[in-house]
Structure 1
């Protein structure tokens, strides 16, 4: 105790002497006792007066002030809505267990009581938060890496606080993960009948694994079934349980080769027949009332559309595809540009009968692979050679760079949409990575059938929150309160109740197209996508420069704006900021690409929809991958990322057939497949547009030879790319003017 007091006294002196620098001597991460003592000293030395109550508890716990920590967390739980205190409830159980004589038994008992006092939906929310989004491995790696990266014998107060918080997460979750996993799963068995051993034989002799979930006490009643068809074996149980608790029967179907099914896993290839057959099986069960609905996001959204490829099963009454990916359209390529994030996903879903989380979370492996490929300049189809592991699915993708029959066979194509006549609710987000897939289905359905019973809901959500419940902030942007709807628990089942039980239509669906206007705290409701806009802001590119910016003008002009990209140069990358993260920032890289700025807007405007582009240029290559990023430069001087487009010029007219450019001959390339957005642009804002060539470690590099881009290498980069844009090039923003309504 005297030694600890002396050390703390010396730490206090050091804070004054070193201007908030604390002495830091590394210990071995494997020495848990020495590490705990060091973190205790840091937590005690940190200034805790300025911490929020939520952070204060962490420091009190790590510094051993358990009595104070108990009081702090109990008050925090009282001040926090029950549905938002999931983490706090678990932390409280951990704290009480750590000061008991038997940590494991005490924690399990306390957490079991907490679960038993929670209703179905609270427990499912706990599962979604603590199990489905389990971050324990990340917390452990995050602390360990942060600790290893300290190379000085002093650290700042800010860094010390960060390290203590990371140590808190690592310590608490490592100690409790297996315990709360066990208790939550035990609680599910108390509430539900779960049959996870069903195998269905398909017409072509394969097997499909199915899970059936019913709420105990209701199994004698015939009900509608809600089906989730997924490749993510073992992760959709809470979705089926939610259906069971909402008065339905929950059914999960997994892709061939997953869970109990024999054979190889082949994503996307058989859902167009297998899902239909599972729906047929459901309709013939004694517990079925011959009504089936489907919902789910991402891959689980794709499977809903795939089920209707050949025909719509009579028992399928509605689907709710959320952030639905469209193979060949937005995955694994976007506008025919193949990204490499799908490379690791293939291993994640196909390495075993469930999911290979270990390989998926091996961030160092994937980051190193990207960097080695980029720096070496080898062909894109050599990724698995660099990785040292054969990637069969990836090699299949390499053979299909256009939207050919391989992709077309997976989902409805053209006239096949005309037979889809059931009610549909499509949900996506402005910052959903699969938005263009979701909108592809929506637009094609409207193209081939007149006035379908198809609703769209879209808001300021990303790929995850479009499927669940948005939180207050999205990538550092504070959402309007109107946007904070519970999509999964409320809206989806309000829709099912409307279609399957004859109840009222969800109140938010006031028209066929429903979208939240960022910055206004309101939703707008229109009968169609076209009705979202009643005006257009059109800008032309100009070579006239004011400081760091080229200008945007309202009329065509005689400008020529030149850009050169040296693909041999691997010290630098281009187009590294096209992805919207964060949404709002103080500055952008003004030297990356061609940056254009408009005059300040004279009036407020609402941008509604997908911006359009028509670029006129000459280029010394036969092809090019290009991007256009759209920003709002706010009156306060911040850059808000509104939308972007990335695509391959040779596929601009037709994603199915490649039309190479003629070098040094003027051409016009039009695009309209940018990310849809709705946001108020305040008076005094400027529009900033960045036109760029794609050269980075996240996607293929198109060297412009006209050969298969997957085969091109840095040897094809002897001559730098040179592009000259003319002043006839335009960008058009679809806007809504309330004064014209």
Structure 2
């Protein structure tokens, strides 16, 4: 008897259901035939009565009930908009191919036909979902890890259902990925003329790699170019294809050293000169009408501002920076606190000429590194020593904890904003990790230019959805319908058509500042950030306490509220919940930090803008990294994460110059650049504020000695930090009160 047949025989005799439990015998994952049979039999024992239609389909397929599965998936597809069906259509073609004796050939034939019959935008969305954000490796490893982590010989219904669903994703995508990759990429060549081998020289002798995309069959007249300047080589082609489909020439310029450039990879450092030269090159091409526009998010938003540091190229007519990072402002540090998430990013973008996904996705490596660093208490400068691999960029970052010349040379600085006179549309989100970068550019531009032609669009989006299109829910919060804008495919090109072709301005841009008011299903439109607000709710910290909460009081008081943090203690962490995920929760950790709660609001108000803080405290150290989290405690007793601030006290007055605190004296520390938010706060809500000291494995630990924080270590933690806040400390919420209109 062959090995696989023997295993199947054993499976059939070992998988039996005992009430709600299923007998489980672990097999060798390399034996795909045996695993498939085991999953089929486990699926047959699972109770699917309470599962969603899509999950029922997964079980029908794994059980081999292909006729039923096909009916189910077709019903689901009919109920789903075409631009949200990328996965569902893979499932449909997978099931249909299962009826054939030659699965691969049947899937290939039907999927190619499907792609060929799709329009440009649909194929671009297929690429984004299935290739750029290829989920296959994750699905495969997720199933394997779940399977291997089962230690019992009996599994619950819950575990069995989870295992079957993960197996479904693993087997469907791993068996079809190569086929749909080929079909989509081949179809791109049919639709577009793509020149991805252009290399142009910079004035200093370096090289920049260029990709130019035009839609076949379109007019051959000279066109405007839509430029994306990006370090993410190999991932922006679909953006150029989208531009080409909209009647423009799509151009990608990769950071020097990327793609076919023979130069060294130098993130951030040369975009201020290279991008300008790329625009100049575009303007001189035979197909160019000497009009260039730029767009892109995150790093690709930064490059747009960098291109204008010295002067604005005459051919550059507009930029649309989305969720733009500002080096030294919000990346890799936020308010001068260096976070370690950028540590792995450096390898991701510099290990090769394209992107090192293997390094980036090695979550065990990065989690182990930050945990080891935290537990051992070594200095931040030792992070790459613990990792065992030199991180050149990281070592450059830690030499510049202030906003000094290293950072200033990358983007416009102060008066350099004054010469920027082109139309600009800034897009960001309330929960965008780079919101502070995006708003830094917006604020500085308005500071140095009187009434610039600069629009802001901001809503309940994160770093990804503010560049693309939001889904119905964000981090468990259901968005208002009016927030569901198609940013990339709609508003973006409406703006380009408005600037470059003289068409109508996007209707959502009714004024210079356009923001969605969460919880009202409406947008507000104001001429400036200041005009967002017509009133203020101010609260003072108080030592009055009930249960786990101190009181937020409307007036100054003589309170003193103390907390102590032992930096030697590495069994616990502080400030682990400052990041807003999920947005709404039943409880918060009342043992982490100082928690303050207001009385109930007597009327509905709308918080509009960035909350402010003026903290007065005495401390036994020369510095502290602190955070302030702002929650709405809803009338239903849910905690809604509104906004937060995290920063280093010694840089609160000036990000360019460190000003140490005076121990044992009262210090005044203020901030006004928390994350911007707009949300209706219903009558009966309360305001909850969490004041904390940052001590966790996600960022530097400031021990308060006054030395370079990167060089401090656990030996500097002999004396715990003691901090006492006074009743002069205040938190102010900018609000829009309709009664004062």
Q: Could you tell me the TM-score, scaled by structure 2's length?
A: 0.98
Q: Give the Cα–Cα distance (whole angstroms) in 2 for the partners of residues 208 and 7 of structure 1.
A: 58
Which of 4, 14, 21 does residue 18 from structure 2 map onto? 14
The residue number in structure 2 matching 1:522 is: 522
The residue number in structure 2 matching 1:252 is: 252
- Say which is worse superposed, 440-449 or 4-13, in terms of deviation: 4-13
The residue number in structure 1 matching 2:536 is: 536
Q: Give the Cα–Cα distance (whole angstroms) in 2 for the partners of residues 544 and 496 of structure 1.
A: 56
The residue number in structure 1 matching 2:234 is: 234
The residue number in structure 1 matching 2:45 is: 45
The residue number in structure 2 matching 1:124 is: 124
Q: Give the Cα–Cα distance (whole angstroms) in 1 for the partners of residues 277 and 263 of structure 2.
A: 18
Q: Give the Cα–Cα distance (whole angstroms) in 1 for the partners of residues 604 and 455 of structure 2.
A: 28
Q: Give the Cα–Cα distance (whole angstroms) in 2 for the partners of residues 282 and 567 of structure 1.
A: 55
Q: CA deviation at 1:519?
A: 0.5
Q: Give the Cα–Cα distance (whole angstroms) in 2 for the partners of residues 517 and 9 of structure 1.
A: 59
The alignment partner of 1:606 has SS state of strand
Q: CA deviation at 1:79?
A: 2.2
After superposition, the C-alpha distances for 1:502-535 in whole angstroms (9 at most, x for unaligned) are 0000000000000000000000000000000111
Q: CA deviation at 1:65?
A: 1.0
Q: CA deviation at 1:138?
A: 1.0
Q: CA deviation at 1:39?
A: 1.1
Q: Give the Cα–Cα distance (whole angstroms) in 2 for the partners of residues 296 and 287 of structure 1.
A: 22
2:282 matched to 1:286?
no
The alignment partner of 1:525 has SS state of strand
After superposition, the C-alpha distances for 1:473-493 in whole angstroms (9 at most, x for unaligned) are 100100000000100000000
The residue number in structure 2 matching 1:597 is: 597
Q: Give the Cα–Cα distance (whole angstroms) in 1 for the partners of residues 651 and 379 of structure 2.
A: 20
The alignment partner of 1:355 has SS state of coil
Give the 5 Å matches for 1:660-699. Answer: 660-699=660-699
The alignment partner of 2:92 has SS state of helix
Q: Give the Cα–Cα distance (whole angstroms) in 2 for the partners of residues 684 and 153 of structure 1.
A: 51
- Say which is worse superposed, 240-249 or 6-15, in terms of deviation: 6-15
- The question of whether the paired residues in 1 share the 8 Å contact of 2:43 and 2:161 is answered with yes
Q: Give the Cα–Cα distance (whole angstroms) in 2 for the partners of residues 254 and 683 of structure 1.
A: 51
The residue number in structure 2 matching 1:380 is: 380
The residue number in structure 2 matching 1:156 is: 156
- The question of whether the paired residues in 2 share the 8 Å contact of 1:233 and 1:258 is answered with yes
Q: CA deviation at 1:50?
A: 2.2
Q: Give the Cα–Cα distance (whole angstroms) in 2 for the partners of residues 80 and 303 of structure 1.
A: 37
Q: Give the Cα–Cα distance (whole angstroms) in 2 for the partners of residues 443 and 81 of structure 1.
A: 38
Which consecutive unaligned segments of at least 5 residues does structure 1 have?
none
The residue number in structure 2 matching 1:136 is: 136
- The question of whether the paired residues in 1 share the 8 Å contact of 2:512 and 2:527 is answered with yes
Q: Give the Cα–Cα distance (whole angstroms) in 1 for the partners of residues 559 and 181 of structure 2.
A: 63
Q: Give the Cα–Cα distance (whole angstroms) in 2 for the partners of residues 552 and 25 of structure 1.
A: 57
Q: CA deviation at 1:740?
A: 1.3
Q: CA deviation at 1:156?
A: 1.6
Q: CA deviation at 1:11?
A: 6.0
Q: Give the Cα–Cα distance (whole angstroms) in 2 for the partners of residues 368 and 11 of structure 1.
A: 37
Q: CA deviation at 1:34?
A: 2.1
The residue number in structure 1 matching 2:638 is: 638
- The question of whether the paired residues in 1 share the 8 Å contact of 2:477 and 2:583 is answered with yes
Q: Give the Cα–Cα distance (whole angstroms) in 2 for the partners of residues 46 and 13 of structure 1.
A: 9
The residue number in structure 2 matching 1:344 is: 344
Q: CA deviation at 1:723?
A: 0.2
Q: Give the Cα–Cα distance (whole angstroms) in 2 for the partners of residues 81 and 648 of structure 1.
A: 46
The residue number in structure 1 matching 2:428 is: 428
The residue number in structure 1 matching 2:173 is: 173
The residue number in structure 2 matching 1:405 is: 405
The residue number in structure 1 matching 2:307 is: 307
The residue number in structure 1 matching 2:321 is: 321
- The question of whether the paired residues in 1 share the 8 Å contact of 2:14 and 2:25 is answered with no
Q: Give the Cα–Cα distance (whole angstroms) in 2 for the partners of residues 161 and 738 of structure 1.
A: 50
After superposition, the C-alpha distances for 1:42-75 in whole angstroms (9 at most, x for unaligned) are 2111112222221111111111111111111122
Q: Give the Cα–Cα distance (whole angstroms) in 2 for the partners of residues 109 and 143 of structure 1.
A: 28
Q: Give the Cα–Cα distance (whole angstroms) in 2 for the partners of residues 493 and 55 of structure 1.
A: 37
Q: CA deviation at 1:99?
A: 3.2
Q: CA deviation at 1:25?
A: 2.0
Q: Name the CA shift for 1:44/1:9 in 2 (closer, same or farther; >3 Å).
A: farther
Q: Name the CA shift for 1:680/1:8 in 2 (closer, same or farther; >3 Å).
A: farther
Q: Give the Cα–Cα distance (whole angstroms) in 2 for the partners of residues 681 and 399 of structure 1.
A: 43
- The question of whether the paired residues in 2 share the 8 Å contact of 1:219 and 1:287 is answered with no
After superposition, the C-alpha distances for 1:552-599 in whole angstroms (9 at most, x for unaligned) are 000011110000000000000000000000000110100000000001
After superposition, the C-alpha distances for 1:456-489 in whole angstroms (9 at most, x for unaligned) are 0000000000000000010010000000010000
- The question of whether the paired residues in 2 share the 8 Å contact of 1:700 and 1:709 is answered with yes
The residue number in structure 2 matching 1:723 is: 723
2:19 matched to 1:27?
no
- The question of whether the paired residues in 1 share the 8 Å contact of 2:16 and 2:23 is answered with no
The alignment partner of 2:281 has SS state of helix
Q: Give the Cα–Cα distance (whole angstroms) in 2 for the partners of residues 7 and 441 of structure 1.
A: 62
Q: How many residue pairs are counted as aligned between the two chains?
A: 737
Which consecutive unaligned segments of at least 5 residues does structure 2 have?
none
After superposition, the C-alpha distances for 1:537-561 in whole angstroms (9 at most, x for unaligned) are 0000001101110010000111100
After superposition, the C-alpha distances for 1:370-391 in whole angstroms (9 at most, x for unaligned) are 0000000000011100000000
- The question of whether the paired residues in 2 share the 8 Å contact of 1:497 and 1:503 is answered with yes
Q: Name the CA shift for 1:72/1:618 in 2 (closer, same or farther; >3 Å).
A: same
2:710 matched to 1:706?
no
2:619 matched to 1:622?
no
The residue number in structure 2 matching 1:546 is: 546
Q: CA deviation at 1:152?
A: 1.6
The residue number in structure 1 matching 2:396 is: 396
Q: CA deviation at 1:104?
A: 1.9
Q: Give the Cα–Cα distance (whole angstroms) in 2 for the partners of residues 6 and 63 of structure 1.
A: 18
2:277 matched to 1:273?
no
- Say which is worse superposed, 251-260 or 101-110, in terms of deviation: 101-110
- The question of whether the paired residues in 1 share the 8 Å contact of 2:8 and 2:34 is answered with no
- Say which is worse superposed, 724-733 or 138-147, in terms of deviation: 138-147
- The question of whether the paired residues in 1 share the 8 Å contact of 2:629 and 2:644 is answered with yes
- The question of whether the paired residues in 2 share the 8 Å contact of 1:8 and 1:45 is answered with no
Q: Give the Cα–Cα distance (whole angstroms) in 2 for the partners of residues 397 and 516 of structure 1.
A: 36
Q: Give the Cα–Cα distance (whole angstroms) in 2 for the partners of residues 564 and 101 of structure 1.
A: 70
Q: Give the Cα–Cα distance (whole angstroms) in 1 for the partners of residues 219 and 405 of structure 2.
A: 44
The residue number in structure 2 matching 1:483 is: 483
Q: Could you tell me the TM-score, scaled by structure 1's length?
A: 0.98
- Say which is worse superposed, 685-694 or 38-47, in terms of deviation: 38-47
Q: Give the Cα–Cα distance (whole angstroms) in 2 for the partners of residues 12 and 52 of structure 1.
A: 25
Q: CA deviation at 1:218?
A: 2.4
Q: Name the CA shift for 1:602/1:613 in 2 (closer, same or farther; >3 Å).
A: same
Q: Give the Cα–Cα distance (whole angstroms) in 1 for the partners of residues 537 and 559 of structure 2.
A: 20
The alignment partner of 1:460 has SS state of strand
Q: Give the Cα–Cα distance (whole angstroms) in 2 for the partners of residues 303 and 257 of structure 1.
A: 15
